[in-house]
Amino acid sequence: MKKWKLWVPAGMALLAVLLNIISRFGRSFSDFYVNHIFPIWVETYGRFTGLFPFSVGEWMLYLAACMLLALALGGICYGILKNRLGERIKRSYRGYGLFCYWIFGIVCVIMMLNCFLLYQASPVYLRFDIGGSPEKEYGAEEIGALRDYVALRANELAPEFDRDERGYLLYEKDLEEEAVRQMQRLGERFDCLRGYYPRPKKLFWSDFYSQQYIMGYYFPFSMEANYNPKMYIANMPVTMCHELSHLKGFILEDEANFIGYLACVDSEDPLFQYSAYLSVLGYLDRDFRKAIGEDVDVYLSHPQISERVWEDRMFLTDEAWEQVERRAVLSTETVKQAADTFLDTTLTLNGVADGTVSYSRVVKLLLQYYDGKLY
């Protein structure tokens, strides 16, 4: 076997490691990449995968799982039956192993370029002016004012929608097209959000993603924004915009939450506005409770979140959950725990020290954004 066939994949993996190391020594490298190189992949490869009506990235994952399973089972058979196998079969398995080895090297580079490098870029408040100051400390007064504003806006919007006999929201417009339109509109305000956006795509195996409580997914392998079609419709607008923001290099979840909120909150579509408020209301209400020391009297002196709004914050409807559980191969608790561990580990390894807790840091970004507007 020619040595270059072995060294090239190893070189690709080493390149990925070196790029990661370089990016951690200074933001200038990552910022240059995110601002000037990363958009090329979206405008070219992202446009190509956007031509397919299904999620290319999702099916890549399933194909990868099948390939690994075949590699493992083949390896077991190869080890046990090595002396009985013909030379052609042996060569075929070794060739397949080499093919998987090359795929590994390519995956290392793609994950580094389309995901891990993005974690080292400058934070959103340095990439465009969101108002306020990142050094400013906000207390119960500011958090309360923001929480009350969002709660009142959600309360006002909740009765405006058509609903079915179970009280679930009804919506007939094209959510995917509208999400792209809102992100393009936001790009008119912030240059780093300009450019091409593919339509968000539905995840095919939605039951499994629902067990992980996943609303959306960004696939670095295919430059696609995906969403869970089984979740309650109130979650969909902001989730689509959240995932689309990853395609502009904003990989941190709190920043994607913030951009998704901005894209939806100023929309002329009431559902997009409502989705924005619902997406951050839980974080704000929790942080407000912490800020006032769980003082019930103080909490009750502020506007209360309506029962309808609390109900609309559901992830899945009861009917959808019943369907998921009925079809489940593994228990939801097991799948959720495994998914949380994987995600928390991935975030921590990429410098997000607080792991999945970082999602709630959107509150600080919102406090900066509304500084001078609400308080």
Provide the pLDDT for residue 158. 97
Is there a contact between 149 and 285 (Cβ–Cβ < 8 Å)? no
Provide the pLDDT for residue 356. 42
Asked whether residue 178 is assigned to any structural domain, the reply reads yes
Q: What is the C-alpha to C-alpha distance for residues 153 and 145, in angstroms, rounded to an integer?
A: 12
Provide the pLDDT for residue 352. 60
Is there a contact between 242 and 260 (Cβ–Cβ < 8 Å)? yes
Provide the pLDDT for residue 349. 64
Is there a contact between 175 and 239 (Cβ–Cβ < 8 Å)? no
Domain boundary residue among 92, 120, 148?
120
Asked whether residue 374 is assigned to any structural domain, the reply reads no
Provide the pLDDT for residue 354. 46
Instruction: Show the low-confidence residues of the chain (pLDDT under 50).
Output: 354-359
Domain boundary residue among 120, 138, 167?
120
Question: Does residue 115 share a domain with residue 131?
Answer: no
Q: What is the three-state SS of 124-166? A: HHHHCCCCCCCCCCCCHHHHHHHHHHHHHHHHHHHHHCCECCC
Question: Does residue 103 share a domain with residue 139?
Answer: no
Question: Does residue 131 share a domain with residue 265?
Answer: yes
Asked whether residue 186 is assigned to any structural domain, the reply reads yes
Provide the pLDDT for residue 97. 93
Provide the pLDDT for residue 350. 61
Question: Does residue 183 share a domain with residue 92?
Answer: no
Provide the pLDDT for residue 304. 97
Domain of residue 111: give its range.
4-120
Q: What is the mean pLDDT of the chain?
A: 91
Question: Does residue 116 share a domain with residue 167?
Answer: no
Provide the pLDDT for residue 336. 73
DSSP type of residue 36: I
How many domains does one find in the chain? Answer: 2
Question: Does residue 154 share a domain with residue 92?
Answer: no
pLDDT in tens, 173-211: 999 999 999 999 999 999 999 999 999 999 999 999 999
Provide the pLDDT for residue 134. 81
Residue 11 to residues 17, 99, 149, 221: CA-CA distances in angstroms? 10, 15, 53, 19
Provide the pLDDT for residue 1. 55
